[in-house]
Chain A
Amino acid sequence: MSMNDAGRRSAIGQAAGVRRPLAVRRIRAVLEAMLFAANRACMLLLVCAFALPFAWMLSTSLKTLPETMIFPPEWIPAEPVWSNYAVAWNSGPFLTYLLNSFIVSVGILILQMLTIIPAAYAFARFRFPGKGLLFGLVMATLMIPAQLIFLPVYLMLSDWKLLNTHLALILPFASSAFGIFLLRQSFMQTAEELIEAARLDNAPEWKIMLRIMAPLARPVLVTFALFSFITHWNDYFWPLVMTTNESARTLPLGIAKIRETEGTATWNVLMAANVMLAVPVLLAFFAAQRQIIRAFVYSGVK
């Protein structure tokens, strides 16, 4: 690009003598500055779109109830009301919710890892009869919303006496078509020579999968893990349908209950609960951040 610029500039210089290039350069500089500013403005807009609601949630969680109703709204509460958090925490069996959320989200994650790695590996590496059809079926499940299948699944789990257990929330998500798809792409990009080198090193198939391929797909695995964790951590619909009492209920249900029980909506307490819901997700994100960026700029071997 710089060569092009230089070429263009010198061409202009030859055509217009000595004076014009300076003006041209100045115009270019202004244009570049404007572009830069526009770029930053867009970024700022994006950041605001995501950060402002979050900041609003934080701010509301520290207000008194009357303060949440003030118009025009104020950003900084007169005095932060930390007790909102205690109220939220004590408004129900929050420790149970929290534990349930962890058991369910992490349980799903572990099962998914156990299933998507071999599945993606098989789809990426092997040729077997019906492969296309099977993969098509897996992809088709991506288009089926939970609302469509919850009834039969509910009946099945009810048959198995699994309602109101963690398993009812975990088992239906034991595998992920999205994960299989994502990982298969990544496996297919792995250089064939690496696998061949491993075969010459007498490595059994499972070792090629776990010691060579999976580590290479780590950024993709981490990214998927995060998506999965956030999805199931925040999931409201499925736990709502599959549980009828507190024993297996998760945080989003607990938070929704705050709204139901108090008559008028206590936004400040609700937001405090929401902050508590978001913190583990944020922590997970920061832990995985580097890997996620690598997953998107990942360029194969070497």
Chain B
Amino acid sequence: MARIELIDVVKRFKGETVIPNLNLTIREGSFTVLVGPSGCGKSTTLRMIAGLERQTSGDIRIDGELVNDTEPGKRDVAMVFQNYALYPNMTVRGNIEFGLKNRGVPKRERERLIRDICEIAGLTPYLDKKPQSLSGGQRQRVALARAMVKNPKVFILDEPLSNLDAKLRGQMRTELIELHKRLGTTFVYVTHDQVEAMSMGDRIVVMNKGEVMQAAPPMVLYEDPDNLFTAQFIGTPPMNVLPASRLPGLRTEGEGHAEFVGFRPEHALLSPETAELTREGLVIAGQIATRESLGAEQVYKLRCEAGSFFVKSFLNPYVGGDFALAVVPFERLYFFDRDGNRLRRLRAVRPQLAAAGV
């Protein structure tokens, strides 16, 4: 179990700055997920923690100890790679044993450790097989077993599930969560998939272009995003964002000038144009462009004067025709300034005049 600190970390590749200035603390024992679009520097961050890549400047501490000059093999970090990176010329046993041998663990001890770990990972029948003859899921387990057997301070996983099919991925997700609970070790997990991030992490670090946009528990990211990027990265479909100036029904009070207004698709309610509005909130009139039914929920795409947005409903399908009023409760509106930063001190209020003219 260990805490990882990145302090003023900068990474450049041949003059191209990939990570301009990263300050991040990964709590000990946490399941921290780094999430962000492809190419935002997640893998680079992981690789710097593992010691496979050296930061251009800044410090990295693991368990309080400065590891800038520590070899990867000596950092007490185990990594699971996206394509598993199993040694193809070695058997499952050989793969798991290699790291132990290099650390000078005596043979007796090695055999005990391998037996135990294979019991846990369900690999006992495959000990003498080569990785090529195993299925994707089994290879994944070998990669995990190889990492676990070293009993590292930190587990690092770089998109470990992206090569598996959907069903197996779901299963491995649960297994990894359980594994983390049992080991209590710090997990640093990278994915570009926000659903995976939300369902696995107890702490999520949203990254963009080498910068941390927000680091928080999943529900905080969802309910209280710091900025437009996070708001639009989390959620399916993501948060709707419309320019404030094109929403005539909107009145705000408080500090700051809202450039953008956001709301989650699931917080808007559709009503027919003719209906008496019973709830108080921002009303946006729109035309329904597409409807998508996912069984329990319906997703509508609406087009309005300010742009298009989604509405997600768990109620019965909307039957009011092609036009609808979307009503978003005032307290469910999020405001952002021109740079995309959240304006937390701004509130929406009921307009002086009735909103009927929208």
> Which residue numbers of A lie inside 8 Å of B, CB to CB?
191, 193-194, 196-204, 207, 211-212, 215-216, 218, 301-302
Contact = CB atoms under 8 A, between A and B. Distances in A.
B71 interface: yes
A302 B83 contact: yes
A217 to B, nearest CB: 10
B74 A197 contact: no
Contacts of A199: 52, 71-73
Nearest to A199: B72
Contact of A201 (B73, B81, B83, B88): B73
A212 B89 contact: yes
B89 A193 contact: no
Residue among B79, B81, B85 having the largest count of chain A Cβ atoms under 10 Å: B85
25 contacts: A191-B83, A191-B85, A193-B81, A193-B83, A194-B88, A196-B50, A196-B52, A196-B72, A196-B85, A197-B86, A200-B50, A200-B52, A200-B72, A200-B79, A201-B98, A201-B102, A202-B74, A202-B102, A203-B98, A203-B102, A216-B88, A216-B89, A218-B89, A301-B88, A302-B132
B87 A212 contact: yes
Given A197-B81, A212-B87, A203 B52 contact: no
A193 B86 CA distance: 9
B182 interface: no
B188 to A, nearest CB: 14
Contact of B73 (A191, A193, A203, A218): A203
Contact of A200 (B77, B83, B89): B77
* B interface, size bucket: 20 to 34
Contacts, number: 64
B75 to A, nearest CB: 8
Contacts of B85: 191, 193-194, 196-197
A194 B85 CA distance: 5
Contact of A215 (B77, B81, B89, B99): B89
Interface in B63-84: 71-74, 77-79, 81, 83
Contacts of B86: 197
A236 B98 CA distance: 46
Counting chain B CB atoms within 10 Å of each CB, which of A191, A193, A201, A202 scores highest? Answer: A201
Nearest to A191: B85
B167 interface: no
B129 to A, nearest CB: 15
Contacts of A194: 85, 87-88
Given A202-B99, A202-B102, A202-B103, A197 B79 contact: yes
Given A193-B83, A194-B85, A215-B89, A201 B52 contact: no
Contacts of A202: 71, 73-74, 99, 102-103
A211 to B, nearest CB: 8
Contacts of B87: 194, 197-198, 211-212
A193 B163 CA distance: 15
Contacts of B81: 193, 196-197
